[in-house]
């Protein structure tokens, strides 16, 4: 069984290819340019290097949010097109869960944070351990100072939100730790591992109903509400 995994939810972009649980290849692009410029070429390159045809793909995992509005739309629309063309199953994955996944064996609270702009962060708390990654709190959108007050003692912070507001968390969360510099981006491999768990249970999404989880309203929605 072959599964493709895609992340475009933040400024970085990643694609990974699995054969069962075996990671065949992964590529990450973090230069910050619009994902529409390079996502399809990344997918094509990884399939070509692994001598895998699009028709060989059984499932595609994709981050559905939270994250940047444009990035999420690009990733999900691209994956929907691929699934329609190849008849592959689709699995939507939480961006924050994928960000926290590399720490699923860490026996301390893990808080994944993505910069939401406007001086806010998307964040959720997880607990690692022998049973893998367990969700402790749902996704929240708050100012970093509000998030800092809610964080458990000794939490491990990871993601662009943690980096951007590091001074806030260092001040309000004594004893907290930050992930290493290379661990603050979402890996396609993490998206793939989370998608594989659901694929085995046949816990799949419908192509027609898979939509981004923005959490925050778009500027257009806010402006429209203000005119009503």
Is residue 85 located within the same domain as residue 146? Answer: no
| Residue range of the domain that includes 114 | 97-183
At residue 228, the pLDDT reads 44
Euclidean distance between CA atoms 16 and 30, whole angstroms: 15
Is residue 119 located within the same domain as residue 221? Answer: no
Is the pLDDT confidence value at 226 over 50? no
Q: Could you give the C-alpha distances from 141 to 37, 168, 186, 189, 215, in angstroms and in order?
A: 29, 16, 19, 26, 7
Please list the residues that pair with 4 across neighbouring strands: 17, 60
- Counting residues of the chain whose pLDDT is more than 90, the rounded percentage is 82
Is residue 177 located within the same domain as residue 135? Answer: yes
Q: Mean of the pLDDT values across residues 61-88?
A: 96
Q: How confident is the model at residue 225 (pLDDT cuts 50, 70, 90)?
A: very low
- Asked whether 109 and 155 are in contact (CB, 8 A), the reply is yes
Is the pLDDT confidence value at 132 over 90? no
- Asked whether 38 and 29 are in contact (CB, 8 A), the reply is yes
- Asked whether 102 and 128 are in contact (CB, 8 A), the reply is no
Is residue 139 located within the same domain as residue 151? Answer: yes
pLDDT digits (tens, 9 = 90+) for 137-156: 999 999 999 999 999 989 99
Q: Could you give the C-alpha distances from 20 to 3, 17, 23, in angstroms and in order?
A: 7, 10, 8
Is residue 123 located within the same domain as residue 174? Answer: yes
pTM: 0.93
At residue 227, the pLDDT reads 44
Is residue 214 located within the same domain as residue 171? Answer: no
Is residue 109 located within the same domain as residue 141? Answer: yes
Q: How confident is the model at residue 86 (pLDDT cuts 50, 70, 90)?
A: very high
Q: How confident is the model at residue 173 (pLDDT cuts 50, 70, 90)?
A: confident
- Domain of 146: which CATH number? 3.30.420.40
Is residue 176 located within the same domain as residue 190? Answer: no
Out of 166, 183, 200, pick the residue that ends a domain: 183
Euclidean distance between CA atoms 20 and 44, whole angstroms: 20
pLDDT digits (tens, 9 = 90+) for 3-50: 999 999 999 999 999 999 999 999 999 987 778 889 999 999 999 999
**Number of domains composing the chain:** 2
Is residue 86 located within the same domain as residue 168? Answer: no
Is residue 103 located within the same domain as residue 164? Answer: yes
Q: Where are the alpha helices (DSSP H) in 35-105?
A: 39-49, 69-86, 95-100
Is residue 131 located within the same domain as residue 22? Answer: no
Is residue 196 located within the same domain as residue 85? Answer: yes
Q: Where are the alpha helices (DSSP H) in 9-68?
A: 39-49
């Amino acid at each position: 069984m072959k599964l493709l995994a895609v992340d475009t939810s933040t400024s970085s972009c990643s694609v990974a290819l699995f054969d069962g649980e075996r990671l065949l290849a992964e590529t990450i692009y973090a230069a910050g340019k619009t994902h529409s410029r390079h996502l399809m070429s990344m997918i094509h390159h990884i399939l070509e290097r692994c001598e895998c045809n699009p028709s060989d793909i059984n499932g595609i995992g994709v981050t559905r949010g939270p994250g940047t509005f444009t990035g999420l739309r690009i990733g999900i629309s691209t994956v929907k097109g691929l699934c329609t063309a190849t008849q592959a199953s689709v699995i939507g994955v939480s961006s924050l869960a994928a960000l926290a996944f590399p720490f699923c064996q860490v026996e301390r609270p893990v808080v994944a944070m993505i910069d939401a702009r406007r001086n806010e962060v998307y964040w959720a708390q997880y607990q690692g351990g022998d049973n893998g990654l367990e969700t402790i709190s749902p996704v929240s959108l708050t100012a970093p100072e509000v998030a800092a007050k809610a964080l458990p003692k000794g939490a491990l912070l990871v993601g662009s939100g943690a980096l951007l507001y590091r001074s806030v968390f260092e001040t309000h969360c004594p004893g907290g730790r930050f992930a290493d510099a290379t661990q603050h981006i979402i890996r396609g491999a993490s998206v793939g591992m989370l998608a594989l768990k659901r694929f085995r249970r046949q816990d799949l999404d419908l192509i027609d109903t898979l939509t981004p989880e923005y959490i925050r309203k778009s500027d257009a929605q806010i402006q429209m509400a203000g005119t009503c």
